[in-house]
Amino acid sequence: MFVIKAENLTMEKGVRKLFEGVTFDILPNERVALLGMNGVGKTSLINGLLELEPIAEGDIYYGVDWSNIGYMVQAEESHTDLQLRNWVVSEHPKEQLRRTLIQLENQLEKDPSDAAILKEYNEAISQYLEVDGYQWEMEIESRLLEMGLIEETWHIPFKQLSGGQKTRAKLVKLMLENPQFIILDEPTNHLDLETIDWLVKWLQAFQGTVLLVSHEREFIDRVATTTFELTPEGLTRYEGGYKEYEAQKEIEEKTRKQQYENQEKERRKLKELIQQYKGWHASANAKASVRDPYAQKKASKQASKLKAKESALEHLEKEAIQKPKQPSRINTQIHSSEFTGKRMVHVDQVSKSYDDKTVLKDVNLDILKGDRIGVVGANGSGKTTLLELISGLSEGDQGAIHYNPQVSIGQFFQEFEQLNEQNTILDEIMELPNMNQTDARTILACFLFRREEVFKTIGNLSEGEKGRVAFVKLYFSDANLLILDEPNNYFDISSREIIEDALVNYPGSIVLVTHDPYLLRAISNKIISLEQQTIQVFNGTYGDWVNHVNVESEEQQLLNQLAELEARYSQGLLEEFESSQQEEEKVEALKDLKAEIEWLKEQIG
C-alpha cells in the first residue's frame, strides 16, 4: 500500500522542460528527502503533487484522504494581517467552533434569559468538548512555546514576524492539523540549530509519512529513511539519508568509471581489429579470381568478419557510456595578505544595544592567526551583530575593537549590493586585482559557472547564483580574515560542498555564522556560543563542542533530579505518622530514597 504514487510525470516551466519520466511511490511511515540541483524542479514537483502547479504529463495516485495531507511550501501566505496566535489556527475547523462559542457567550451576557441562545450555546459547548477543544487550546500554546514563539510574540501580526518566526509559525500550524502525510519545502530556513534539533526529534517521533526538500545534509541524515534524487531525466531512489546516498553515488561513479574504461578499451580493440580485417580483406580480395574459389572464399570470410566488427563498433557507439565528469577543484593559486603577527583582532568590553534592547554586553574576544571560529546561538542572540562589529560595519555603544595593522578583512553578508547588476559574471570577477580571463573562467567553472553561463548578467541571476559570485569575489580578494554570515543560504548541496571545500583550503582565518553543521564540522577549530547577551569561547571543533554541551546537559539533568530527590527526602523527614505501620513503611521508603540520592551523587562525581 502506498501513500502517494507517481507515474511518468513531466513538468515544464514556460517552454523549458524541467524533468520527465519521474516515477516513484512513497510507503507508509517513510521519511523521504528529495534532492537535486537548483533549477531541476524540486519545488515544482512538490507543488505538482499538491495540485498547486500543473503536471504536463503523467499520473498521481493518493493512498490517503486529501484532508490528511499537510504541507509547508514556498508560497505567499494569506491572512497575514492576523496576529501570530490567531494565524496558526485561522483555518483549523476547531477554531470555527471556538469562535461560534465566544459569539454565543457574548450574546448570553447581554440576555441570559434567551432560551434559544442558551440551547444553541449548550449544543456548541457539547460539540467543543466532543472534539477536545479546551485540550486543543492548551496544545496551541504548548506548540508555540516549543517552537520558541514566546507569549510576547503571539499578538504580533504574521507579516511583521522575522523569517525564522514565520517558519516556526508555519510548522506550528502544520502540527496542529495532525496530518498523516506531511510535505515540507525547506523547513529549516531561518531556523537556529536549537530549533532544528527540536524539529528533527519531532519528525523522528511523527507517526506518519514525510516528504521533504532540504539542503541541510545533517538534517537529512537525522530524519530521512529514503532519499530521492531528481534529475531532468527522471528520479532515482536510494535507501537511507544523505551519507548513505553519497556512499551509493560514489559506488555508482566508480562503477560507471570502470564501465567507461572497459568500453574505451573495447572500442580501441575493435578499431584495431577493423583495420586489420580491412587489410586482410583487401589482400584476399586482390588475390581472389574466378579461377581461384579458395581465394574467393577467403575474401568473403574476411568481409564477414570486417562487417561483424563494424557492426559491434556501431552498436558500442550507439550504447556508449558518457565519460564521467570529474568534480571541479580550485587549482588556481590562492593568495591572502601576509600576516606575521599572532593576534588579528582584539574585542575589548564591547556592548551593543538597539532601541534600548541590549544585544551584546561586555564582550571580550581575541581572534588569532589560524582561527577558524564557528559562531552559534539562538535566533536573535546577536550573532550577526557580533560579525558586523568585528567587520567594522557597526560601532559598539561602549568598549573598543583593536585591529592589527596587517589585518585585511573580507566580509560576506546576505545582501549583495557590492555586485554591479549591469556586469556579466565574467566582468565582475575580472575586476579582481591581477585577474586574467583564463584564470577567471577556470575559477568560475569550479563554482559551477561553465561555458556561456559566465556571460549572464548579474541582475538576471538567482539569489543562489549571486551568492556564488559574491563568494568568489571575496575568496580571491586578498583578505586574510573572512567574516561570513550564512554563506550557504540559497545554495543547493553541490554548491555547499564547493564552498565547504574552498573554506577548508583557505589559507587565512575565518569567523563564520551558519546553521549548517556539516560546514561547522569541516572548518571550525574554535566555537563561540552566544547566550544572555554575552559569549562563551570553546577551544575545539564543533563536534567537540556538541559533545561538551551534551555532557553538560546530562549533568544538569542529574543535578535537577538530585535536587528534587533531596527536597522529597527533607519533606519526608518532617512528616508525622498516624500509626507505627505507616511510620515503618515511610522509613523504608526514605531509605530507598537516600540510596538513590547517594547513587546520583556518585554519578555526578
CA distances from 584 to 292, 574, 604 (A): 123, 15, 31
Question: Among 24-28, 201-205, 252-256, 370-374, whose mean pLDDT is lowest?
Answer: 252-256
Q: Would you state the cell numbers that stand for residue 518, as one nine-digit string?
A: 556539516
- Kindly report the pTM of this predicted structure: 0.75
- Of 98, 92, 102, nearest in space to 133 by CA: 98
By CB neighbour count within 10 A (0-12 exposed, 13-18 middle, 19+ buried), where does 171 fall? buried
287-307 mean pLDDT: 62
- Of 480, 346, 473, nearest in space to 407 by CA: 480
SS3 label, residue 136: helix
3-state SS, one letter per residue, for 354-399: ECCEEEEEEEEEEEECCCEEEEEECCCCCHHHHHHHHHCCCCCCEE
Question: Among 122-126, 265-269, 482-486, whose mean pLDDT is lowest?
Answer: 265-269
Confidence band of 583 (pLDDT split at 50, 70, 90): low
Query: What's the whole-number average pLDDT of the chain?
Result: 85
d(CA 258, CA 17): 32
Structure confidence at residue 110 (pLDDT)? 81
> Is residue 291 over pLDDT 60?
no
Q: Would you state the cell numbers that stand for residue 98, as one nine-digit string?
A: 471556538
The 10s digit of each residue's pLDDT in 392-428 is 999 999 999 999 999 999 988 876 777 888 999 999 8
Question: Among 232-246, 252-266, 290-304, 438-452, whose mean pLDDT is lowest?
Answer: 290-304
- Of 148, 174, 173, nearest in space to 162 by CA: 148
- Of 388, 345, 369, nearest in space to 485 by CA: 388
567-596 mean pLDDT: 71
State CA 396 to chain mean position distance.
33
Q: Would you state the cell numbers that stand for residue 563, as one nine-digit string?
A: 535536587
Handedness of CA 449, 455, 457, 458 (dihedral sign): positive
d(CA 438, CA 256): 31
Q: Would you state the cell numbers that stand for residue 261, as one nine-digit string?
A: 574504461
User: Helix 133-146 to helix 163-177 angle, to the nearest 10 degrees?
Assistant: 150
